[in-house]
Structure 1
Amino acid sequence: MASSNASPPPQPQSTRKSQVLQRRQVEALIANGHSIVIVDNKVLKVDAWVPFHPGGDKAIAHMVGRDATDEVDRFHSEETRALMERYQIGRVEGLWVNFLPPIQGGKFRTLEQTGLVEDDSAFYVAPEQDTSSTPSSVDGSPIFEPADRPAASIRRRNVGDVHMSRTSSTSSVSSAELDDSAQKPKMSVMDARTQREIDLDKSLYPSLDPATQADVVEKYRNLERRIEAENLYQCRYSSYAIEGVRYALFFSLFVLFLKWGWYIPSACFLGTLWHQLSFTVHDAGHMGITHDFMTDTVIGMLVADYCGGLSIGWWKFNHNVHHLVTNSTEHDPDIQHMPFFAISHKFFESLRSTYYERIMTYDAFAKFMIRYQHYLYYIILCFGRFNLYRLSLSYLFLGQGPRKGQAWWHRYFEIVGQVFFWTWYGYGIVYKTIPGGWNKFAFVMISHMITMPLHCQITLSHFAMSTADLGTTESFPQKMLRTTMDVDCPQWLDFFHGGLQYQAIHHLFPRMPRHNFRRTQQLVREFCKEANIPYATFGFIDGNKVVIGKLGDVSRQAAILAECQRTITRGDH
């Protein structure tokens, strides 16, 4: 620590918080390794909070250098937002234009380095400029229409519900660089498809200039105030009473058929119970039940770990990142399923996942699987729960969750829950109760495969949507609606989807109780019409057709790439 005579006298806290920081000062702080986030024009230095953040360090890392006002407001209670002010070190004036966070490849300069630049405007993104992906780092082909179909025939900009087409992804350069790249004669076919997807998204959605996006944000915040006024954040506990009756019915049928020795029906009802309980875990993970962090987390741990063998801590660590960088091929773990699935040709480049901190290798096995992914999609989803066990146990036993703060003990409570689950399910049911090897095998497989619709519901809302990176100026609400679609279903089927049919609404308001989504949908439609943002919605069957179509399109891209590589290898050019 520096001696006192070498340090300037400390500023009063009120003076420190009110000081106006220039953009180059914020950049320099980030260059020196600090975690700087902008919230309501307040500059927060959250270094000390990162180890205590219950949502994980990566969620914060993706907000560094950005105006995270909407993200912070949507994911945190009013009390938590008030506590954040203790980390305020100043404020900024005017409209903040986001930096690209370091975790996403952003480059920052210290004050000494920025001192070489006299014009402050060099640090700003021009109003008509964005930081879209380079062609090589973005996905590129329409998925709701043939890949070679003109963009004009794909565009359907009726305000309200739309059915759109796309694929795309990320890495950051200016649009001018993209234009220069587009002129290069050796630009690859994949890069050209990428650029078409970026252009398509730009044609479908409001302009990315800061003024237009600020208008979108203002309309979104007006929508949020209207939702507050209509008490749509208030949980309807009567709806959970109905859920409880349904859970009790499935549990009773599971036990009854098990007692009678009807192991296949018993396994079906256990799997159905797990499927339905997952919706309550999702609610609890977002504090959508009581809106109290500790209460909802305990509910989530009891249901997820003790009843289902899955870690809610892992889920929140993963899911928080997904909500912030939705459908980003490099950053969103919910679309990183190599070597089994690729929803963008960018995965052919063996991307590095910033979430898993490893290369997602596009090797011989991946090439084989991707070639047939549209045929294998539902088969692979049948085994999805086994992968969740692996991820949950890795998270818990490698200590990847928070070790400080109010969530420090959750890991140990969850480990006890894992022991409890494998005791009652693995030992008590499978090993002790069910006779015969084939009966045991059938019970395990069927109880897990019955949960396949859940994995289908999870992927449906995002696999069909854009993976294009339109840069740092895109607002939170526009990005959520561009990368997420809703599923249209009759009200009596809401129990089957458990709120996952309203993923676009959920991404806009993640802490809203799911039983209020249907009412909120009409308000979101009105917002989309006012903001001129397409609201994507499909029926469940049609949505699945779109997903299969997209997987098939990427599979064809992989085949074309492989053929080109073989041609070059043979020298036939």
Structure 2
Amino acid sequence: MGRGSQQTDPASGGAGQGAGVFTWEEVQKHSHKGDQWLVIDRKVYNISQWVKRHPGGLRVISHYAGEDATDAFRAFHPQPAYVRKFLKPLLIGELAASEPCQDHQKSETVIQDFRALHDQVEKMGLFRSSPLFFCMYLGHIILLEALALLLLWNFGAGWVTFFACSVLLATSQAQAGWLQHDFGHLSVFRNSFWDHLVHQFVIGHLKGASANWWNHRHFQHHAKPNVFQKDPDVNMINAFVVGEVQPVEYGIKKLKYLPYNHQHKYFFLSTIQVLFSVFPLWRIYVSVHSSCLIIWVRFVPRRQINVSAAPFLIVCVFRFMESHWFVWVTQMSHIPMNIDYEKHDDWLTMQLKATCNIEASAFNDWFSGHLNFQIEHHLFPMMPRHNYRHAAPLVEALCKKHGLPYTVKPLWTAFSDIVSSLQKSGEMWLDAYLHK
């Protein structure tokens, strides 16, 4: 059982020998920078040197060092057979026959049932997208932009027109944000090349952000949601303390970068941070956006607006409105949920702890870009969003079978839970700060 570790030098990359037989105890020893193994379908791979060449980034694959990465591998790779060709040289062996399929005493029954569900929804065709849906979705974004530009063209730069135009552009930009999310998750085209290409265009041109930056952060979030030191979305750069563990930790250490007992109040200003960090103004200003161009073409020759200030101002206004939309929708399914350090849960349990759904309705689906089905999205990130509602009853039935929580909330309850959870965390911090 231990002979595999004698046959393979961890620093060598494995050389594709595949001759070793390992225990979980041996695999888990290799979970450090420069010495990383992981398991996929009971095969053991030495990824120590290869992580730097991983197309999805160094960190997302490193988060599974020393663990079973089978479900994460299936969740993120649309062509697993093709990817395995790159894994083959890294193969150093397999788990001993006496070893369980999972590390850290995870529930084998839950894992096998989830994998059976994954196969079931795949056979049902729920990973196939509808071209009509995405064409109509893109069309309604273009229509919103066109309406905004027509308002400017026909009615000038008055305050009423300016406000109406900002609302329309904020709406189109929010919806473009959900659309880039679809392409980023490779859930639209059958060939991932086209998903990557269109993603670069939508997020780069319409959003003024970087596709590589988004991929680097967002896939880490999906791989280990709400896990400190692994999910960048819960790295609040000391502006907030979240969950029930971090507030006490900060309080005991007497860390007070901000008055966290008031964080539920200044959360309403956090969208300003998003405006500057997620969509830096310099990127927005230099991006070739149609609204900026039409302002120049329509009004500059008549000296109705300042050449440099007007495009900058209108983009700032609708980006600020959009940032509120973005923050509330993206945080309603995560901040009120469990946030903790690594617990090595199985894929299904981990995602259910960190996510919740919002009630389905035509408005909620549109408003959130179908991210109200956050559970299904996290379990099957490559599933086209229009199929979430078909997968939801199957996921709920599986959760009921194993006694796992499947949380669904009304939209306004989800919004208020953000504030109440931040208030609770702030109070926990203050108590620990003063009394521990």
| Superposed pair shares fold, TM > 0.5 | yes
Whether 2:264 is the aligned partner of 1:374: answer yes
> 1:49 corresponds to which residue?
50
Identity of aligned residues (%): 22
Whether 2:329 is the aligned partner of 1:464: answer no
> 1:117 corresponds to which residue?
none
Deviation per CA, 1:400-438: give whole Å up to 9, x if none. xxxxxxxxxxxxxxxxxx599534479746778571598
Q: What are the equivalent positions in structure 2 for 1:28-67 lying under 5 Å apart?
A: 33-67=34-68
SS of equivalent to 1:35: strand
CA-CA distance at 1:561 after TM superposition = 3.2
Q: What are the equivalent positions in structure 2 for 1:510-529 lying under 5 Å apart?
A: 510-529=381-400
Deviation per CA, 1:18-70: give whole Å up to 9, x if none. 44234465456557933211000101122343222221100111111101111
**What is the rounded CA distance, in whole Å, between the counterparts of 1:440 and 1:475 in structure 2?**
49
> 1:319 corresponds to which residue?
218
Which one of 78, 81, 87 corresponds to residue 79 of structure 1? 81
CA-CA distance at 1:553 after TM superposition = 0.7
Whether 2:100 is the aligned partner of 1:95: answer yes
**What is the rounded CA distance, in whole Å, between the counterparts of 2:15 and 2:240 in structure 1?**
52
Deviation per CA, 1:441-463: give whole Å up to 9, x if none. 75233211221212211111100
> 1:177 corresponds to which residue?
none
> 1:403 corresponds to which residue?
none
Misfit runs of 4+, over 6 Å: 429-432
SS of equivalent to 1:461: coil
SS of equivalent to 1:63: coil
Q: 1:552 to 1:424 in 2, by over 3 A?
A: same
Check the 8 A contact 2:75/2:382 in 1, yes or no: yes
CA-CA distance at 1:342 after TM superposition = 2.1
**What is the rounded CA distance, in whole Å, between the counterparts of 1:546 and 1:528 in structure 2?**
23
**What is the rounded CA distance, in whole Å, between the counterparts of 2:310 and 2:285 in structure 1?**
23
**What is the rounded CA distance, in whole Å, between the counterparts of 2:195 and 2:144 in structure 1?**
23
SS of equivalent to 1:535: coil
Deviation per CA, 1:529-554: give whole Å up to 9, x if none. 12221101101101112221111111
Q: 1:38 to 1:264 in 2, by over 3 A?
A: same
> 1:554 corresponds to which residue?
425
Check the 8 A contact 2:337/2:354 in 1, yes or no: yes
Check the 8 A contact 2:334/2:354 in 1, yes or no: yes
Gaps of 5+ in 1: 1-6, 99-124, 126-208, 352-360, 394-417, 566-573
Q: TM-score, normalised by structure 2?
A: 0.84
Check the 8 A contact 1:235/1:289 in 2, yes or no: yes
**What is the rounded CA distance, in whole Å, between the counterparts of 1:499 and 1:16 in structure 2?**
45
SS of equivalent to 2:358: strand
Relative contact order, higher structure (CA 8 A, sep 6+) = 1
**What is the rounded CA distance, in whole Å, between the counterparts of 1:490 and 1:97 in structure 2?**
38
CA-CA distance at 1:362 after TM superposition = 8.0
Check the 8 A contact 2:207/2:279 in 1, yes or no: no
Q: TM-score, normalised by structure 1?
A: 0.65
The CA RMSD over aligned residues, in Å, is 3.1
Compare 17-26 and 48-57 and name the one that shifted more. Answer: 17-26
Q: 1:281 to 1:424 in 2, by over 3 A?
A: closer
Compare 300-309 and 430-439 and name the one that shifted more. Answer: 430-439
Q: What amino acid does structure 2 have at the position aligned with 1:72?
A: F
Q: What amino acid does structure 2 have at the position aligned with 1:219?
A: D
Check the 8 A contact 1:326/1:332 in 2, yes or no: yes
Q: What are the equivalent positions in structure 2 for 1:80-479 lying under 5 Å apart?
A: 80-83=82-85, 84-93=87-96, 94-96=99-101, 98=103, 209-210=105-106, 213-259=107-153, 260-261=155-156, 262-344=161-243, 346-348=245-247, 364=256, 366-368=257-259, 370-381=260-271, 383-390=273-280, 422-424=287-289, 428=293, 435-436=305-306, 443-451=314-322, 452-469=324-341, 471-472=343-344, 474-479=345-350
**What is the rounded CA distance, in whole Å, between the counterparts of 2:273 and 2:342 in structure 1?**
34
**What is the rounded CA distance, in whole Å, between the counterparts of 2:73 and 2:238 in structure 1?**
34
**What is the rounded CA distance, in whole Å, between the counterparts of 2:26 and 2:211 in structure 1?**
39
* Corresponding residue pairs, total: 407
**What is the rounded CA distance, in whole Å, between the counterparts of 2:241 and 2:424 in structure 1?**
10
Q: What amino acid does structure 1 have at the position aligned with 2:399?
A: C
Check the 8 A contact 2:43/2:93 in 1, yes or no: yes
Q: 1:514 to 1:440 in 2, by over 3 A?
A: same
Q: What amino acid does structure 2 have at the position aligned with 1:282?
A: H
SS of equivalent to 2:228: coil
